[in-house]
Amino acid sequence: MPKKGQRTAKVFAGDLSDAAGFAALASAYLDAMRVLNYSEKTVESRAHHLREFIKWCTERSFARPAEITKPILERYQRHLYHYRKKNGEPLSFRSQHGCLVPVRALFKWLCRHNHLLANPAADLELPRAEKRLPRHVLTASEAECVLIQPDAEEEMGLRDRAILEVFYSTGMRRMELANLKLYDLDQERGTVFIRQGKGKKDRMIPMGSRAFGWVRRYLDDARPSLALTPDDGLVFLTNVGLVFEPNRLTQMVRHYVDQAEIGKTGACHLFRHTCATLMLEGGADIRFIQQLLGHEKLETTQIYAQVSIRMLKEVHTRTHPARLTPELEAELDAEADEDAEA
């Protein structure tokens, strides 16, 4: 069963009494994922995409997985390609890929457990997902500009400043910050323990002394008035003493980024990108950044090697033959002065 406080997946369309129907088999597949200790977030995500697929099938009178063939799956894939959102934009290829992966996983499970004799999705070719760089990354001065936006003389402002400092110092995900407990902080060792992060993985990461200083000030001056009785030990609390919902954290951080008027947009993940990129530019080994961010694969972390343009620019300046010599610079300055006088 899902843990207390977790949302349960909506019932699938169709007849649950039909043991060979989509509704019953898709529900059994999600239960099997829970038995295998998949996170509830992953289960919910797959349930959402399967609901859309089953709805599409039901509208075309396909009530059972056994009725689905590879050509039908390819029709659904074309449907996703031509689908338009409410704003008229198409689904990105990454989104299309995300819609099809749960469908392919469902049919794989159905075959493995002998609900189907053959897997119609076995040879389904998925669209290539784009490998995009982070849209925006802050410079150190821009990050500092955002950090000073909250009014630290007020309780909520002090809390918000501490949250921004933690994001900037650690690069942790928003749910990881929301779930931090008091006993996860070790100021003496300068570490934070992330419990059950993405993929249900624990990790120990460092946090800077400045961030710890702001967190300590928040714990002493603001949190006592926010905490409810009994106190569940969460570090960061809303104005009514409850855990932060992910969207509320996003809205709060985005507000301060916009308020800073630095010409860049973003929220919690913006600080995650910034933390990794600035550390890499400062000389950190990419494997240490991988451990800090909790990436399972190094190739996920290597995106920051592409974002970190400063080091590439330094190499380009040292090695490319078309360099600006002092003589050429003086000549260009003289021409600029003549143009200004004219």
Active site residue 76: no
**Same domain? 173 vs 307:** yes
Range of the domain at 72: 22-112
Q: Is residue 83 part of a domain?
A: yes
The neighbour count for residue 8, using CB atoms within 10 Å, is 12
200: left (phi over 0), alpha (psi -120 to 50) or beta: left
Residue 242 structure tokens: 């409850």
pLDDT at residue number 299:
80
- Give the 3-state secondary structure of residue 210: helix
Average pLDDT over residues 177-197: 93
Residue 56 structure tokens: 């599409």
> What is the number of structural domains in the chain?
2
**Same domain? 61 vs 177:** no
Active site residue 173: yes
**Same domain? 247 vs 296:** yes
Confidence at 342, pLDDT banded by 50, 70, 90: low
Average pLDDT, the chain: 89
pLDDT at residue number 8:
41
Amino acid at 323: R
Q: Given a cut of 70, is residue 22 above it in pLDDT?
A: yes
Active site residue 113: no
Choosing from 104, 195, 198, 255, which is the catalytic residue? 198
CA 119 to chain centre: 32
The string of pLDDT tens digits covering residues 115-149 is 999 999 999 999 987 777 677 889 999 999 999 99
Q: Given a cut of 70, is residue 209 above it in pLDDT?
A: yes
The neighbour count for residue 49, using CB atoms within 10 Å, is 18
Spatial distance between the Cα atoms of 219 and 217, rounded to a whole number of angstroms: 5
Query: Would you say the C-alpha torsion 250, 41, 242, 212 has a positive or negative sign?
Result: negative
Q: Given a cut of 60, is residue 252 above it in pLDDT?
A: yes
Choosing from 46, 51, 159, 295, which is the catalytic residue? 295
Choosing from 48, 79, 269, 310, which is the catalytic residue? 269
**Same domain? 96 vs 242:** no
Q: Is residue 161 part of a domain?
A: yes
Active site residue 295: yes
CATH number at residue 88: 1.10.150.130
Q: Is residue 123 part of a domain?
A: no
**Same domain? 175 vs 287:** yes
- Give the 3-state secondary structure of residue 10: coil
Active site residue 55: no
CA 167 to chain centre: 13
Residues 6 or more apart whose Cβ sits within 8 Å of residue 128: 93, 97
**Same domain? 152 vs 246:** yes
Choosing from 115, 161, 173, 223, which is the catalytic residue? 173
Active site residue 304: yes
The string of pLDDT tens digits covering residues 264-323 is 999 999 999 999 999 988 888 889 999 999 988 888 888 777 676 677 777 777 888 877
